[in-house]
Amino acid sequence: MALYSEKVMDHFRNPRNVGVIEDADGVGEVGNAVCGDIMKIYLKIDDGIVTDVRFETFGCGSAIASSSMATELIKGRPLEEAAQLSNKAVTQALDGLPAHKLHCSVLAEEAIQAALEDYRRRQAVAAAEKS
């Protein structure tokens, strides 16, 4: 049995949504000090929909694949659905990860949550400035 599924290998070799959104509406960055993986997620949100999402990941193949899959799972989705993304959903969409690599899917979930929190914070600041 192969250590990684074909989907993990595909998202590692051909990651989707790599890059930066210069005028992002929300940015989240998380890292794992133990393994050294760092993920940064950029969100573009229009009318409550994630219209674009990009990532930069420094880490292993599982971290890159998890980032890529997470962006695919939330792109085009309403904020409420994007906020429900779980590491389990990322792992399942990748057809599994080895147990010692599950933390990569957790980082992807945490990076999305951090970007959404940044978006909400920015929205609150903008609303406060208008009043």
Catalytic residues: 35, 104
Strand-pairing partners, residue 39, are: 30, 57
User: Dihedrals φ, ψ of 94, to 5°?
Assistant: -85, 5
DSSP secondary structure string for all residues of 38-74 = EEEEEEEEETTEEEEEEEEEES-HHHHHHHHHHHHHH
Give the 3-state secondary structure percentages of the chain, helix then strand then coil, rounded to 5: 50, 20, 30
Burial (CB count within 10 angstroms: exposed 0-12, middle 13-18, buried 19+), residue 128: exposed
- For the chain, what is the largest distance between any 2 Cα atoms, rounded to a whole number of angstroms? 60
